[in-house]
Chains A and B, each alone.
Chain A
């Protein structure tokens, strides 16, 4: 019950932000959509309708890649920039004092963020599909676990950078650079450079593409790849979280939690 109360509190806050600051929400969706249009039609003009991407070697691949990037970006920003914001407004120490533990506070923060994020991505995705006329396979039961697994890698990176921000404070420029590194992970050409599946986000994006473009279900995906994705995501999420805990300990030792 206590954990449910904590989760509900986090979810409600995200929902209030989304609704009260609907202009922010709206402009975020529109910006995302515009960026997508530029990339999509740019690619089409350059390559005459065939781009060598990670998933499917088609323009559909751009839709999928862009969707994953949106998910990953919000996931990453929520933890990295979010941690800085909490430290600045002096609520980080209050979060830290939860008897349920800072770990759970953050896990539920991630969960609440994922749900609200999904609502926004669905809107962007529908807009993308409607304008491009590329209607993709929306096999929800297959997509939810795949997206969760894929984005877990981005949360791992978010935790890592959030931890860094707690101790070193001035990490804004690194945070910005990493946002674009996420694009490299997502657009990694796995067909050409298969070892890139060791990176976060790469293999997940490809598998999501298989479901959405090639219309396969989760069970029809190569089991080896699915297992690899589980291991990959667990590794990056776990590592990010562990390093975050490490930095958090350093911050607590040096009395840095409240400073910004």
Chain B
């Protein structure tokens, strides 16, 4: 597979006044293949935005290398900018006094594309982002969601190989966030762009990304496919509800098998919480419970989601 974005030992220290430097990003390395959609996760202040801005050439790294489609970005910034566009967090990214079409034409021109060459693509984007009705309205009069969609379209119109999206759904209400997610999903499905996306919203990441890189405290702590990550954390939590008390011998046998198992009891009920790796362990538990007097009332099972996985990893880091 062809690598189009490679970050090698990226480090950024910010000097704060006369005090010591703060390490925002610390030897971060990862690579993204052509047309891959990768999520960049991490708690606030983990270094996501700094990483993205370094790739976009907006922040000068302290050390490290950034390769964009065979071009070393720090040595050849102009050439690198032909290969990357970004939608940045917390910014409007667009001209409020221009209409959607005028914005799109301006950003195409900024990239050096002549209007004639991109006209067809601009029409396509206006269609895709549902901006047709509003194509004569200045951007400031559009809804927040529309503005964000336009900002994304303005990044797309640059027609770069790599697209960086920093918190694209931040600050949007549930409905528009869903709408934007839908467009992103469509884009990802078309497989035309290589996307690095940072988000707090696990739904966005789980929905769109094939792979996630989790950074914490400026360092990469996980870099794996979403499906692998889900499998790895397939420590499905089961809860057994029993009518009546659990026998002493049974409890001992269970704890021998699963040291982390927890037993709690109310007047008539007993609850057993256990993390089971797979189906066979479930039968082992049932085997032990069968010998006792208590009757099984129910067995509950919960699938983990990416958010829990993320929290588990980050908390583990903190410990």
Task: Establish whether residues B98 and A90, one from each chain, have CB atoms under 8 Å apart when the complex forms.
Answer: no
**Does any Cβ of B come within 8 Å of A96's Cβ?**
yes
On whether the beta carbons of B111 and A99 are closer than 8 Å, the reply is yes
Cβ of A97 within 8 Å of any chain B Cβ, yes or no, is: yes
Q: Is B84 an interface residue (CB 8 A)?
A: yes
Decide: B81 and A99 in contact? CB cutoff 8 A. Answer: yes
Which residue in chain B gives the minimum CB-CB distance to A2?
B112
Asked if A89 and B78 sit within 8 Å, CB to CB, the answer is no
With a CB–CB cut-off of 8 A, which chain A residues contact B112? 1-3, 5-6, 98-100
User: Is A176 among interface residues, defined by CB-CB distance under 8 A?
Assistant: no
Chain B 70-114, CB-CB to A under 8 Å as 1, else 0, gives: 000000011111101110101111111110001001111111111
Is B58 in contact with A258, judged by CB distance below 8 angstroms? yes
Whether B64 is near chain A, meaning CB under 8 Å from some CB there, is: no
Q: Is the interface of A mostly helix, strand, loop or mixed?
A: helix
Instruction: Pick the residue among B79, B95, B109, B111 that contacts A91 (CB under 8 A).
Output: B95
B106 touches A12 (CB 8 A): yes
The interface size bin for chain A is 35 or more
**A90–B86 CA distance with the chains assembled, in angstroms:** 12
Distance A100 CA – B102 CA, assembled complex (angstroms) = 20
- Asked if B50 and A99 sit within 8 Å, CB to CB, the answer is no
Q: Could you tell me the distance in whole angstroms from the C-beta of B112 to the nearest C-beta in chain A? A: 3
Q: Is there an interface contact between A94 and B60, defined as CB atoms closer than 8 Å? A: no
**Residues of A close to B77: CB separation below 8 A:** 101
A258 engages B91 (CB within 8 Å): yes
Docked Cα-Cα span, A185 to B288, in Å, equals 95
12 contacts between A and B (CB under 8 A): A5-B112, A6-B110, A8-B109, A8-B114, A89-B91, A94-B154, A96-B57, A98-B112, A249-B60, A252-B58, A252-B60, A257-B58
B binding-site residues for A, Cβ under 8 Å:
12, 14-15, 50, 53, 56-60, 77-82, 84-86, 88, 90-98, 102, 105-115, 138, 154
Which 4 pairs from chain A and chain B are nearest by CB?
A: A9-B109, A90-B91, A2-B112, A99-B81
